[in-house]
Structures are given as structure tokens and as C-alpha cells.
Amino acid sequence: MQESTANQVAGNATSSFTEHLQRDRPDLLPYNRSLPAATAGATPLQVPHATTIVAMSYGGGVLMAGDRRATMGNMIASRHIEKVFPADRYSVLGIAGTAGIAIDLTRLFQVELEHYEKIEGTLLSLDGKANRLGAMIRGNLPMALQGLAVVPLFAGFDTTAGVGRLFSYDVTGGRYEEREHHTVGSGSVFARGALKKLWRPGLTEAEAVSVAVEALYDAADDDSATGGPDPVRQLWPVVYTVNRDGARRIPESELAAVAGRIIEVRSAERREA
């Protein structure tokens, strides 16, 4: 009996862990959940939402950063949430939208890439990773139509081409490659305005980190759902860089120094906006 089951599993083997779940255990997928039917006059479902993510290319790679605030309506649900995660050694993922589903989708994507590498004995190409993430987002479309949308950013280092690349998505799973920088989330319009002024081709890694923190600072200045650097609580954005050496999380000590310089300059200039 055990041998028969093992043979059946081997016969159904696929390089896609998501396809395996969809076929054998669809109930375990983060977006295969049923919600109670809404009744007239009922209060809309309130769940934590992750907000602003910024990403950009720099000389030698790509960078992604996210603030630490999650909101639930007009309330702060968390000041400590992390919204940027390593997908594998050469890619990172930033989440915006319904926090619970986004985090589950991120974990599934991480397992998807690890599973592919174990089955195939090689890393999935960056385009392949971007396409698989798009398929997962498309699978969440029924939940998105009920107000539980997930819209991530994806970035990685293309080891074949030797360049960093950045991808954005819509709720239908549509994939779009961004050439310079991009933002998502409630504070994205303000962060994007900052990036247009601060970003330039050939930034060093240190300069890119400073630009990302300042863009998030500007977003927090005008968007109540975005949390800025918090020296009192010692809370700083989550920032990852990805280059030919792989993904690296920027230490909080570096981020504290960068945020301190930004605050010092703005305080000295007595800036109102």
C-alpha cells in the first residue's frame, strides 16, 4: 500500500509545487477560501493592509524597500510588519494589499522556487519566476473581487543577462517590466514623485538605499497609512539589495544612520513640506 502511494506521488511529480497543491490539496492554497456572504447593511470586512513598497535599479543590481506600518481602516494594525522578503538567493518580493493573504502567497512562492530547484536541479530563470508569481496573483482574483487584493512588486538579478530587473503586477496577474523604478501601495504616488527627483542612472548601492529611505519618508509625510522612520521605537524600513552576489538585507544600523542624516538635513532646513 505504501509502495503504491509512493509510486502514485512519483508519477504525479511536477516542478510546480502550486500545481501539486491545486491538484491534490487545493484547500491549502491561500486564495482557495470561502468568505461568508455579505448581508445588507453589514460592516465591510476589516483586515490589516500592507502599504508602501518602493523598488529601483542601481549600478549592479536592484533594491526594494518597504515601510513597517499595516493599517485596518483608520487604525494602525501594526508598526512592525515586514513587507519585503527574499524569494530565493537572487530575487526579492514586496507585498501591498491584504496582509494575511499576501504573506501566505509569499511563503507559497518561496516554496515554489525551492521546490523547482530541488526537482530540476537548477534555478528557475528570472522570467520564469516572474511568470509564476503572476499566475499566483491571477489565482487570487476571486478574493480580489471581494476586496482582498494582493499587488506585489518583484525584483531580482538576472544571472544570464548580468543585470537587475524589476516587475510590477495588476490584480489579474498581468506582469509589466519596469526599467528604472516603481512603487505600489497607498503612499505610492508620493514615493514615486520623490523617486522621479532623486533617482538617476548608475546609483551606487549606498546612494540607492538613501534614495529609498527618503522616498518612504516623503510617502509617510503625506499618507497616513505609511509609517516613516521611527527613532523613538527604533523602527526602520526593511531594505534588500540584489546583485550578482545574491540578496542582502541592509542592517538596521545602516538604515538608522541614513534616516538620521535625512531627518537632520530637513530639520536644519526647517522644511515645511
The residues assigned a catalytic role are: 51
Instruction: Check if the beta carbon of residue 117 is closer than 8 Å to that of residue 22.
Output: no
The C-alpha atoms of residue 45 and residue 33 are separated, in whole angstroms, by: 15
Could you tell me if 118 and 13 are in contact, meaning their C-beta atoms sit under 8 angstroms apart? Answer: no
List, in sequence order, every residue forming a beta bridge with 154; answer none if it has no partner.
93, 167
DSSP 26: G
User: DSSP H helical segments within 81-187, as ranges?
Assistant: 99-120, 126-139, 141-144
Instruction: List Cα–Cα distances, 55 to 9, 43, 91, in angstroms.
Output: 40, 35, 12
What 3-state DSSP class applies to 1?
A: coil
